[in-house]
Every structure is written in structure tokens, then in C-alpha cells.
Amino acid sequence: MDFRERPLAIVDIETSGDDELKHEILEIGFLIVRQKNFEVIDSGNWLIKPHHIENAIHAALSRNGYNDYDWRDAEELSKVMPIFSEKTQNAIFTAFNVTFDWAFIKNAFRVTGAPNLMDYHRLDILTLAWTMGGDSLEHFNLKAVSEFFGTPPEPDPHRAINGAEAALNILRKLKMPAGSLLPRMAK
């Protein structure tokens, strides 16, 4: 399949910290979109049951609103990853700060044994946004970039599906003429 025909899997995760080997995914949200027009063709969101919440960073839990009550019926990561694998098959993994999200998702594939059926390319919305406004931004997070491009910011507390939607809104603003995701070159 030509990479230009592959869907984009716009993924956001919420975690118990920033180290994929120590901390856990607490939520996975994704939107599968057509590359040509960013039409959403599938989506999903799961709360993930933590097994070592004692390792969590308090600020991370506060940011994503983790609490025992809301996560009481959360899914096991081992049950979610095969579904995620199937739904993202042939897609290009896309995220705002792709390095962070991909590190956790890659580790989740590894620890659960679920196959990674996605294309090997990765698309970083943060990098694309930087090429269009990096010099004028004081902060380079999803909220600041959303404000810069005039798109709705991710509400607090952060939830994975809301982050994926905020990332998609930025990506739509970045879309160049003729279906190109490449930034305009300086003249």
C-alpha cells in the first residue's frame, strides 16, 4: 500500500509518569483518519487498569484525573492491545510528541505480545507545528500550540481521546494545499 493511501492513527495516551519502563499507560485514545481529508473513520478510547500505581508521579495523575473510582472497570492492557493492533493495522502512527506516545505504545506491544501491524513510519504533529510557528511560541506543549493555531485546547483533566482530537485539530490547521503535509518552504 502506498504510504499516501495509509490512514493516520492519531494516538494520545495518559500515563502514570514519563518513563515507559517504570510507569504505566492509564488511558489510550485514538482516531483513525483518512490522510487526504482527515475524515475520522474509526476511534477508540480505553481506561487501562494500572498494576503499579505506587510508582506513579503525583503530577501525572493530577493532570489526567486518575482516581480509583473512575478506573474501577478499566481494561487490562493485555486485552486492549490486540484490539488496538487490529484497529490501527496499516496506519501511520501519529501523535503530538510522537516520541513519548510511541515509547509507551511500543513497550505495550512488547509486554503484551500483541503484534504491531502499523506502518513503520511515524508522524509527529509537534515537529510539523514547530516548522510553522516554533519561533513565536513560548511553550511547546499541546495547549500552547492549540492556542497558537486557534484550535480548542485539550480540556483539564487531560483525557486520551480529547488529546487525540486536539492533535487532529492542529493537524487540520497544518494541512497544506494539494494534500501535502510538508511545511511551506521559506523563499
Identify the structural domains of the chain with CATH numbers, from first to last: 3-179 (3.30.420.10)
For 73-120, what is each residue's pLDDT tens digit? 999 999 999 999 999 999 999 999 999 999 999 999 999 999 999 999
> How confident is the model at residue 116, as a pLDDT?
98
Q: What is the phi-psi region of residue 150: left when phi exceeds 0, alpha when psi lies from -120 to 50, beta otherwise?
A: left
Question: Tell me, what's the pLDDT at 64?
Answer: 94
Q: Are 172 and 36 in contact (CB under 8 A)?
A: no
Helix axes 98-112, 125-133, angle to 10 degrees: 170
List all residues 6 or more positions away from 186 whose beta carbon is below 8 Å from its beta carbon: none
Residue 119, amino acid: D
The string of pLDDT tens digits covering residues 137-171 is: 778 889 889 988 899 988 888 999 999 999 999 99
Assessment of whether the complete model's pTM goes beyond 0.75: yes
Q: In this structure, which amino acid lies at residue 105? A: I
Compute the distance between CA of residue 31 and CA of residue 7 in angstroms, rounded to an integer.
Answer: 10
DSSP class of 138: S
Cα–Cα dist 131/174, whole Å = 10
Q: Residue 178 has what pLDDT?
A: 43
Q: CA 47, 50, 52: angle at the middle one, nearest 5?
A: 165
Ordered DSSP codes for 45-66: EEEB--S-GGG--HHHHHHHT-
C-alpha neighbours within 13 Å on the C-beta side of residue 29? 18
Question: Is the pLDDT confidence value at 182 over 60?
Answer: no
The yes-or-no verdict on residue 186 having pLDDT over 70 is no
In tens, the pLDDT along 38-82 reads 999 999 999 999 999 999 999 999 999 999 999 999 999 999 999
CA distances from 140 to 20, 42, 51, 79, 125 (A): 21, 28, 31, 34, 11
For residue 184, pLDDT beyond 50: no
Nearest to 70 by CA among 61, 58, 57: 61
In this prediction, residues 125-133 reach a mean pLDDT of: 86
Closest C-alpha among 31, 175, 180 to residue 93: 31
Residue corresponding to grid cell 481506561: 47
Angstrom distance (rounded) from CA 2 to CA 138: 38
**What is the pLDDT, as a whole number, of residue 134?**
67
What pLDDT, on a 0 to 100 scale, did the predictor assign at position 176?
A: 52
